[in-house]
Structure 1
């Protein structure tokens, strides 16, 4: 095929000489678009670079480079003495579609089907206001971020760079980190671990996802408390598990209800946040803790213990984890530094029997060959030199003071609209609002005044409705807490 091509096709091309993309690449893009639209067909001869340059009022070298670019990519072919042609081997670019064509561009909608899974539709709310009574985040201005940065930077200047940067390492995490975490947990949580019991993960969500990928089969039964943590429940459903919720009261997960389920169904895993149940912040009472461990041994199910904010308990000493009393290897213990440092710091760990850690490390390699060993080692350094421990002692006092200030102000200014129990620990107050208050409307109105609060939707379940939300106090100064309460008061009393 060597039909002449209308000059008009090429003169219609518009190039932007002040744009960031080089002109020759703009021209190549335009020619490629003509080929894909079949306005330039396989085997057709293109005008010479001199003619194309004259029509576009560009340098001939620029036109030649555009041809060369497309030739390199296989769209054009050139023959000495004959000229440049659209490659003859190209297939038909626009065959008759087997399905209705998409109206949106490929940048918006894929040409293949994407499963619409309801449990994946939920998105984390973004805190955009200057003021925030959030889900229970720490105050990053208190965190030892400078010390962490110095430790991280020192990793880049020491010897052994090949083993840090030039090769892959252990998927379970570097030895320095695993040893530091093991010692830290043994000292502070009464665990009896070695580095072989530790797996480095990028936060608790990743750890839970690994467990679901590595230990849960489609159809397995997973039990957790209602209300609970939606992100965990989404992982259960994505693994194909059957999720069963059991009630949570003022003493935590109702183990008597769990026992009834175990008698009729084979339970594979129970997910719990026993120290401060999410979202209600209540602690699992000692008799229920012991019964949960006994049930796990009797019925052979995994306990996934998510201890997301162990370090912040204000009434006496923190309750030791279930894992500290587990002598049968039934508990997988997960924690992170996201709640103590910042949600942006993705450093976490799983603790389990050695064979479980080895298995989960192998599963992890399918997703993530290894974690950020530089960051892990930096965290190990500030654990080993006591920086983390000093920071936690300091912030414990600060957060307790903020809790007391917040709860006093909440009761004094909003007592006629809310009911709550002062939490023994954690960074939020589970706050029940009067039934006539629409939390979605309240959240929208607060946002307009620069205050973020939850609208409560994440805590609603079929058969379970509550007009309650978590109001986080730890990330705000006293001044910001007072300003936030003042906004809520103005909205509720108008």
Structure 2
């Protein structure tokens, strides 16, 4: 057992005078770490308060306060006329180490690893970048958002809501959202048919937890949304792909699959198929609903870009025509707003909604009552509609500008479909190009092409280029770099 004067206190106690943590607590916390690391084993006698204060260049009363805190927590025992000791009640463990502690670089236990859930998103600090189609937060009406959110926080009637929050969601917001969805998407729903989530991905996760068992078959488009596919496979589901053409997913292929195997779920984006942007035809929509009823599989309809439509009114969702409870409708609200003001939602029959609320209560019990209150007021006051109207005009101009550049500068090597909505264009190369090499070459010119927008197999080479986040100058410069490096590879 070392003498109190032999313990190298200054090797493991460092006082930070600039910290907001009181000095006595800093000293107490360092002692606790040393005891937990077994550097100070039970019954070790500690230096007196005056001597330790001199050693650490702090007032004796500071050390007294630190020792009192340690004693109160049970780490040390202070014996009158005898001294201060590390508590004898603590377990004796081997491998003492007095050197300053560094957080371990790896766990001391085994755990399950998943390459399937590796983050597909990439971020680079380049001058220019393309993405798969995101809004421009610079268009957000910050003044309106700040006003509504600030008034919501100050309102006395909301204080009780902040003290207790029902994880099933704000009834006020669900009522307003229900009105919004009835008017904009023709969904004949009540607030009891709505579940508020943090994002589309959380919605899909909850649905998968309820519907999918290992080896269940989930049908997706041949090209599909990577995050959704990851979530389904996380539940050990087997993905079966079907072709996607100008009218959406191939219903004949779905029927053929159903005739030979039991399909549990079909995931689809009928308004704007991800990534190709095609809209499913009315005929195929009706055929898909009939097929689901015949074979008993669930349709998960992800309406991720419904708010961004330019040339005509969008077709109503599948869920609006569903009379047999076969469709679970997933969407996001406030996508055109700043990221912190966006939320996800699920629309489904009440019986499955009961199970969904149970799962939401586990992973997101508290929710965000203030945000939901603010969003509800923005719907009721018409702020959302005004903001969408302004932003849609700008996004339509950006879409048309990108299409004009593609037609004039890329017409010899790329074919493009004019998207009726959404924030991205689908570009198909007329001749194969190594897209990974293209991405590396563009990076040298400060243009970032993430892997999530690159699509290539033996039959097709394509890009999903988002235009929503680019103003005219950034788009011109980005497209010029892209053209330069495509030309070099052809």
TM score, norm. by length of structure 2:
0.89
C-alpha distance in structure 2 between counterparts of 1:222 and 1:248, whole Å: 16
Aligned pairs for 1:212-251 within 5 A: 212-251=208-247
Contact (CA 8 Å) 2:247, 2:279: kept in 1 or not? Answer: yes
Distance 1:113 1:120, change over 3 A: same
Post-superposition offset of 1:61: 2.3
1:38 deviates by 4.1
Aligned residue number for residue 7 of structure 1: 6
Unaligned runs of 5+ in 2: none
- Partner secondary structure for residue 245 of structure 1: strand
Q: Within 2, Cα distance between the matches of 1:88 and 1:456? A: 58
Question: For residue 482 of structure 1, what is the aligned residue in structure 2?
Answer: 476
Q: How does 1:272-287 map to 2 (within 5 A)?
A: 272-287=268-283
Counterpart for residue 99 of structure 1: none
Structure 2: how far apart are the matches of 1:435 and 1:411?
A: 16
| Cα distance, 1:295 vs structure 2 | 1.0
**1:60 match:** 60
Kindly indicate whether residue 164 of structure 2 is the aligned counterpart of residue 167 of structure 1.
yes
Displacement of 1:315 after TM fit?
Answer: 3.7
Q: How does 1:328-343 map to 2 (within 5 A)?
A: 328-343=324-339
In 1: Cα distance, 2:429 partner to 2:102 partner: 46
Asked if the contact 1:456–1:468 (Cα under 8 Å) also holds between the matched residues in 2, the reply is no
Tell me, yes or no, if the aligned pair for 1:120 and 1:234 is still in contact at 8 Å.
Answer: yes
* Matched residue SS, 1:262: helix
For 1:400 and 1:298, the matched residues in 2 are separated by 40
C-alpha distance 475-77 of structure 1, shift in aligned 2 (>3 A): same
Task: Check conservation: 1:338, 1:344, Cα contact below 8 A.
Answer: no
Q: Which residue does 1:150 correspond to in 2?
A: 147
Q: How does 1:101-140 map to 2 (within 5 A)?
A: 106-126=103-123, 128-140=125-137
Count the aligned residue pairs.
Answer: 483
What's the offset of the Cα at 1:376?
1.5
Q: Would you say the 8 A contact 1:228–1:459 is kept in 2?
A: no
Q: How far off is 1:32 after superposition?
A: 4.2
Deviation at 1:344, TM superposition (A): 4.1
Q: 1:456 to 1:333 in 2, by over 3 A?
A: closer
1:156-210, CA deviations, whole angstroms, 9 ceiling, x for partnerless residues?
A: 23342343212223x3322221122222222122221122222212221111111
Superposition map of 1:73-84 within 5 A: 73-84=73-84
Q: How many Å separate the matches in 2 of 1:95 and 1:267?
A: 57
SS in 1 for 2:168: coil
Which residue pairs with 2:416 in the alignment? 420
1:413-452 to 2 correspondences below 5 Å: 413-433=409-429, 437-452=433-448
- Indicate whether 1:347 and 2:343 are aligned: yes
Q: Which moved more, 1:84-93 or 1:438-447?
A: 438-447
Distance 1:59 1:191, change over 3 A: closer
1:201 aligns to 2:200 (yes or no): no
Deviation string 1:290-332 (CA, Å, 9 cap, x unpaired) is: 1110111011111110001112233432111111111111111
Which residue matches 1:262?
A: 258
Once the 2 structures are TM-superposed, how far is the Cα of residue 120 of structure 1 from its aligned partner?
A: 1.0
Q: Is the 8 A contact 2:268 2:302 kept in 1?
A: yes
Mapped partners of 2:381, 2:334: distance in 1: 20
Deviation at 1:436, TM superposition (A): 5.2
Q: CA deviation at 1:22?
A: 5.0
Report the CA distance between 1:282 and its aligned residue.
0.9
The Cα shift of 1:459 comes to 4.3
Deviation string for 1:62-105 (max 9, x for gaps)? 33333333323322111112111121122133479xxxxxxx95
From the superposition, tell whether residues 198 and 37 of structure 1 become closer, same or farther in structure 2 (CA, over 3 Å).
closer
Task: Return the offset for 1:486.
Answer: 1.6
Q: Measure the CA separation in 2 of the matches of 1:477 and 1:211.
A: 37
**Alignment counterpart, residue 172 of structure 2, candidates 176, 196, 203:** 176
Tell me, yes or no, if the aligned pair for 2:242 and 2:254 is still in contact at 8 Å: yes
- The alpha carbon displacement at 1:29 in A equals 4.8
Change over 3 Å in CA distance of 1:418–1:363 after alignment to 2: same
In the alignment, the residues of structure 2 paired with residue 343 and residue 3 of structure 1 have an alpha-carbon distance, to the nearest angstrom, of 57
Q: Give the Cα separation in 2 of the matches to 1:486 and 1:206.
A: 38
Contact 1:132 1:452 in 2 (8 A): yes
Unmatched tracts of structure 1, length 5 or more:
97-103
- Name the Cα RMSD after superposition: 2.7
For residue 56 of structure 1, report the CA deviation from its aligned partner.
3.9
Residues 34 and 360 (structure 1), Cα distance of their counterparts in 2 relative to 1, 3 Å cut: closer
Pair 62,235 (structure 1): closer, same or farther in 2 beyond 3 Å: same
Mapped pair 1:406 → 2:402: yes
Report the Cα distance in structure 1 between the residues aligned to 2:38 and 2:449, rounded to whole angstroms: 54
Instruction: Give the C-alpha shift of residue 456 in structure 1.
Output: 5.0
CA distance in 2: counterparts of 1:211 and 1:483, whole angstroms: 42
| CA spacing shift, 1:127–1:283, aligned 2, 3 Å | farther
Q: What TM-score, normalized to structure 1?
A: 0.89
1: CA distance, partners of 2:16 / 2:363? 44
